[in-house]
């Protein structure tokens, strides 16, 4: 008798592992994409503050509209304005 003869791979188990790995993959992608946008936004604000020696509301708004394009045409919930 070999060392691993008593271990059997069940089709339901393989399917469950595939579903879990796929779910984790898609959640990871969605979080990384959101984080990337925020990183670009904060970097823009930092550059503006370093250039002007201060952070103004105008700098913050211009970075927001520059990084999150389409924000001017959406309401607070992200729905497109008519």
Domain ranges for the chain: 11-73
Please give the structure tokens belonging to residue 53: 């020696």
Query: pLDDT tens digit string along 17-45?
Result: 899 999 998 888 777 766 777 888 899 99
Q: Does pLDDT of 13 surpass 60?
A: yes
DSSP bridge pairs for 74: 80
Q: Which of 7-11, 47-51, 72-76, 77-81 has the highest mean pLDDT?
A: 47-51
């Amino acid at each position: 008798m070999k060392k691993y003869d008593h271990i059997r791979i069940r089709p339901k188990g393989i399917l469950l592992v595939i579903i879990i790995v796929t779910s984790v993959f898609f959640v990871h992608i969605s979080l990384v994409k959101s984080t990337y946008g925020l990183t670009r936004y904060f970097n823009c604000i930092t550059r503006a503050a370093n250039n002007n020696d201060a952070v103004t509301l105008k700098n913050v708004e211009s970075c927001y509209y520059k990084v999150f394009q389409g924000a001017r045409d959406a309401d607070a919930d992200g729905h497109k304005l008519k």
